[in-house]
Amino acid sequence: MKDNCSNGEVRVGFYVCHCGHNIAGMIDCPAVAHYIGRLPGVAVSRDYKYMCSDPGQELIKQDIREHHLNRVVVASCSPLLHEHTFRHAVEAAGLNPFYFQMVNIREHSSWVHTDRVAATDKAMALSRAAVNRVRLHRPLETTRVPIHPDVLVVGGGISGIHAALTLANGGKKVFLVERDPSIGGHMAKFDKTFPTLDCAACILTPKMSAVRSHENITLWTYSEVVKVEGYVGNYVVTVKRKPRYVNEALCIGCQECINACIFKEAKFPDEFNVGLSKRKPVYIPFPQAVPQAVVIDPARCLHFKTGKCKQTCIEACGDRHAIDLTQKEELVQVKVGNIIVATGFRLFDAKRIPQYGYGLYPNVVTSIELERLVTSSGPTGGHVALRDGRTPQSVAFVLCVGSRDFKTNRWCSRTCCMHSMKLAQLVREHTGADVTVFYLDIRAPGKGCEEFYDKSLKDGIQFVRGRVAEVTDWAVTPEEEGKLVVRVEDTLAGLVRRIPVDMIVLAVGMEPHADAQDVRRLFNMSCGTEGWFLEKHPKMAPVATFTDGVFIAGCCQGPKDIPDSIAQAGAAAAEAMALIDRGYIEQEPNTAYIVEADCSGCKSCLALCPYTAIAFDETKGKASINAALCKGCGTCVAACPSGSIRQRLFEDDEIFSEIEGVLAHA
Amino acid sequence: MHDADWQPRIVAFFCNWCTYTAADLAGVSRMKYAPNVRIIRLMCSGRADPQFILAAFSGGADGVLIGGCHVGDCHYAEGNLKTLRRFQLLKRVLRDLGIDERRLRLEWISAAEGDKVRTVVNEMTEEVRSLGPLGLPRRFAEWDGEMTHLEGLAQTAESQVEEAKPEAAHA
């Protein structure tokens, strides 16, 4: 490769980007270019409107050719955004891509400062540092790490299911791990989906059975990932398979054991029906569950609690011998190259807002409880009823319960407006009740959603704007006797109202799982302040994370509806597929290395490396670094007392020159 | 005591994964903060060699800020813990050198905490402003001047001794 530096002379090309008005609005770009142009070794110094555009990149390539540049510095946005772009341009012009340095004068200067002079000064200092540094750059080669072709998908909700199926259909082997005894997630609990009102089960259950029967998918329900080891492209994942006390392969889901259970009556709250119905200690989560295998709840089963049970279930199972009460927790290990995390959300606990009376008044229910009530396969067979069995004459929906609220969660959960309007229509259909929706703003941005809102208005659903202050059963007028009263400031009418109704539905928002932080650490991801998993870039990389080969999909990244979850799951699957088909991940050559002659053999570095990349050669008395294991943090470099460990791209002399550069007076 | 137009100069070493990204987020969110910090990107706060910090002070920085991932969240498992240990030692060294330890600050700032970048930078800028300039390059120059002066004196004294020598030998 020609490096334009056969005679050893360094010729730097410096480019400062206006980024339209984003940088030029706060930084005097021509002044920066002029200042840098006077520094020794700078052959070309220019300012340009959009450096990342095609003509911008072409400018660099042309200058490299015409002015025999052998170093390039671009002062523009964050290197996390466009470093690759410019390295690529530099490489295309025949230079080593690491003869490049980027200066972040947008995110770190023009966007965060209000004083043009100070911002320009800062841009000059940062640019000067980069020019200082780039002079010392060495040519480097990226390393390629081969990728294991199998994929792990964590979470069997609609996102995980879709991602797993997409990959499996593309011929990739997928391990799908789900914490609950069945896949299906939240969507399995829904009756219909907005805005089309098509049956949720009709679109979900075929996908669930496809997962079960797909030859490329290994489904592990009632399982959790407990450990992730290995490195990019080659993860070793340990999955804990909780005992379901039933052999999945032998159980055919005939439910005879359930009928035969010593508990004649179902008496334990059924998780799937959010406690609205009862189940036995041996149960099938829901009729369409995948896998179609019963599960035994050791916390409820007489055998596990007292050891004294006639074990009628085993008797009923007979020759199949599917029930195995001796089953133990099992740890299995798999090797995968990519991981898609689709762990979803949990619903806001309505008890956290006591003034809404959830748990106090029996006829205050949450939206998911109503969802189960309207479902024909639900606990009431689709009959929307009050707790005493009467059909409600009037129903109120309270929106933004645990959303858009500084006292609880400040984000918008995005689906509750539409979900409530859907339920409102279903309630009217089922009961003919008067429905009032209390809202802050109606957010119906999805395709067909505004039209659905229109329809709701035309169908006679009442909308009252205002955050509900309180729900009470304290009647002050005869009409309020025996009813629940919603107290609200109607901000459109400009008055405080009391509205008596029979039933109140709290549209509870979404929040991250209680153990989201543990999951995040497991996969080396980041979380936003709210606890949702953080994408690599909010726009350019919405399903990637900061760890290569780890992707996120669905509501674990933030609240979203079913179409968005599926779109994201498809995107994550495509990104994983792209990596697998390419076969390797290109790694930054920022690994550490040892200058053997300088190594004193003190072994200070050995204990510092969390990846055991440093070994010690006893015969030579020197340490050595395995580049394949080194992840390039540089901790050992900073610790080496003899200065014999060095880090590519972050060499001591490069950083010292950068320090000198930022401190130089403009 | 110092120039009226003196502005604190702070060099920051931010880790690529958390704090540098947080500073990017502060930018994307258009948060406004003091322009006195110059950020140098490292892959991990664990790469922040104490020599870098000393070089920054001796090169004219009035303060040094190190930013890393929260404890337990380090992209490289535990690089930030190594930083923490070095930081404690380095503060002692600074104290011995007569540099106020408030001029060195270590902060854990996650990728989501753009707001914390703003707060920390603003706080630190004000703190360093109240401490005044460290001005090591100027002091080094003064000390160098003194040394040259002393050397000059010593030389004169020596040559006087030299001149006096023959007589002394004589006697």
For residue range A614-644, what is the model confidence (pLDDT) as tens digits?
A: 999 999 999 999 888 899 999 999 999 999 9
From the list A113, A650, A663, the residue facing B35 with the nearest CB is A113
Q: Which residues contact B26 (CB under 8 A, 6 or more apart)?
A: A107, A112, B33, B114, B115, B117, B118
Q: Which residue from B minimizes the CA distance to A123?
A: B38
Q: Does position B9 have pLDDT exceeding 70, yes or no? A: yes
All CATH 3.50.50.60 domain ranges in chain A, comma separated: 151-242+329-344+515-584, 346-511
From the list B31, B38, B112, the residue facing A526 with the nearest CB is B112
pLDDT band at B158 (very low <50, low <70, confident <90, very high): confident
Question: How far is residue A261's CA from residue A265's CA, in Å, rounded to a whole number?
Answer: 9
Phi, psi of A29 (to 5 degrees): -60, -45
Question: How far is residue A512's CA from residue A515's CA, in Å, rounded to a whole number?
Answer: 8
Residue B171, pLDDT score: 46
Domain boundaries of chain B, sorted by first residue:
10-133, 135-171
From the list B21, B31, B72, the residue facing A80 with the nearest CB is B21
C-beta atoms of A659 and B52 within 8 A: yes
C-beta atoms of B46 and A638 within 8 A: yes
C-beta atoms of A660 and B26 within 8 A: no
Residues in chain A closer than 8 A to B60 (CB atoms): 663
CATH classification code of A346-511:
3.50.50.60
- One CATH from 3.40.630.30, 1.10.4160.10, 3.50.50.60, 3.40.50.1100 for A151-242+329-344+515-584: 3.50.50.60
C-beta atoms of B79 and A526 within 8 A: no
Range with the lowest mean pLDDT among A243-252, A392-401, A523-532?
A523-532
Q: Which residues contact A141 (CB under 8 A, 6 or more apart)?
A: A589
Residue B160, pLDDT score: 86
pLDDT (tens digit per residue) in A117-142: 999 999 999 999 999 999 999 999 99
Residues in chain B closer than 8 A to A633 (CB atoms): 43-44, 46-47, 75-76, 79
Q: Residues B104, B106, B108, CA angle at the centre, nearest 5°?
A: 165
Q: Does position A1 have pLDDT exceeding 70, yes or no? A: no
Rg over alpha carbons for chain B, rounded to the nearest Å, is: 23
Interface confidence (ipTM) of the complex: 0.91
Work out the burial of residue A411: count CB atoms within 10 Å of its CB; fewer than 13 is exposed, 13-18 middle, 19 or more buried: middle
Residues in chain A closer than 8 A to B23 (CB atoms): 107-108
pLDDT band at A199 (very low <50, low <70, confident <90, very high): very high
Residue type, A575: E
Instruction: Specify the residue for token string 């400009």.
Output: A494
pLDDT band at A580 (very low <50, low <70, confident <90, very high): very high
Whole-number average pLDDT of chain B: 92
CATH classification code of A592-647:
3.30.70.20
Rg over alpha carbons for chain A, rounded to the nearest Å, is: 31
Of A538 and A224, which is predicted with more confidence? Answer: A224
Pairing of strands A434-439, A394-401: parallel
Q: Does position A300 have pLDDT exceeding 80, yes or no? A: yes
Residues in chain B closer than 8 A to A107 (CB atoms): 23-24, 26-28
From the list A114, A635, A659, the residue facing B56 with the nearest CB is A659
Residue A2, pLDDT score: 45
Pairing of strands B63-68, B10-15: parallel
Report the candidate in A23, A448, A415 with the shortest Cα–Cα distance to residue A198.
Answer: A448
pLDDT (tens digit per residue) in A323-379: 999 999 999 999 999 999 999 999 999 999 999 999 999 999 999 999 999 998 899
Residues in chain B closer than 8 A to A652 (CB atoms): 49, 51
Residue A547, pLDDT score: 87
Residue A172, pLDDT score: 97
Residue type, B87: F
Residues in chain B closer than 8 A to A647 (CB atoms): 43, 47
Q: Which of B15, B20, B32, B40 best probes binding to A when mutated, by most A CB atoms within 10 angstroms?
A: B40
DSSP label at A107?
A: I
Distance of CA A460 to the CA centre of its chain: 39
Candidate ranges A110-119, A230-239, B67-76; pick with highest mean pLDDT: A110-119
From the list A113, A534, A637, the residue facing B112 with the nearest CB is A534
Residue B119, pLDDT score: 97
Distances (CA, A) of A448 to A418, A437, A452, A583: 11, 20, 6, 41
Residue A113, pLDDT score: 97
Shortest CA gap A517–chain B (Å): 10
Q: Which of A109, A557, A663, A665 best probes binding to B when mutated, by most B CB atoms within 10 angstroms?
A: A663
**Domain B10-133 fold:** Rossmann fold (3.40.50)
Q: Does position A231 have pLDDT exceeding 90, yes or no? A: no
C-beta atoms of B38 and A78 within 8 A: no
Whole-number average pLDDT of chain A: 94
Q: Which of B18, B25, B39, B106 best probes binding to A when mutated, by most A CB atoms within 10 angstroms?
A: B39
pLDDT band at A586 (very low <50, low <70, confident <90, very high): confident
Range with the lowest mean pLDDT among A305-309, A421-425, B22-26, B89-93?
A305-309
Residues in chain B closer than 8 A to A637 (CB atoms): 47, 49
Q: Does position A412 have pLDDT exceeding 50, yes or no? A: yes
Q: Does position A418 have pLDDT exceeding 70, yes or no? A: yes
Report the candidate in A395, A402, A388, A390 with the shortest Cα–Cα distance to residue A421.
Answer: A395
Residue A397 β-bridge partners: A437, A505
Range with the lowest mean pLDDT among A29-33, A213-217, A570-574, A607-611?
A607-611
**Residue B63 host element (H or E):** strand B63-68
pLDDT band at B166 (very low <50, low <70, confident <90, very high): low
Q: Does position A269 have pLDDT exceeding 70, yes or no? A: yes
C-beta atoms of B50 and A638 within 8 A: yes
Q: Does position A529 have pLDDT exceeding 50, yes or no? A: yes
pLDDT band at B170 (very low <50, low <70, confident <90, very high): low
Residue B49, pLDDT score: 96
Chain A with chain B: Cβ pairs closer than 8 A: 144
- One CATH from 1.20.140, 3.30.2030, 3.30.70, 3.40.50 for A12-142: 3.40.50
Q: What is the mean pLDDT of residues A477-484?
A: 95
Residues in chain B closer than 8 A to A658 (CB atoms): 40
Percent of chain A beyond pLDDT 70? 99
C-beta atoms of A538 and B28 within 8 A: yes
Sign of CA dihedral A368, A370, A373, A376: negative
From the list A80, A521, A647, the residue facing B47 with the nearest CB is A647
Q: Does position A6 have pLDDT exceeding 60, yes or no? A: no
pLDDT band at A7 (very low <50, low <70, confident <90, very high): low
Distances (CA, A) of A144 to A228, A535, A589, B11: 21, 24, 10, 34
pLDDT (tens digit per residue) in B31-61: 999 999 999 999 999 999 999 999 999 999 9
C-beta atoms of B11 and A633 within 8 A: no
Distances (CA, A) of A248 to A241, A245, A321, A334, A397: 12, 9, 11, 20, 42
Residue A346 β-bridge partners: A511
C-beta atoms of B46 and A634 within 8 A: yes
Residue A232, pLDDT score: 81
The reported pTM is: 0.87
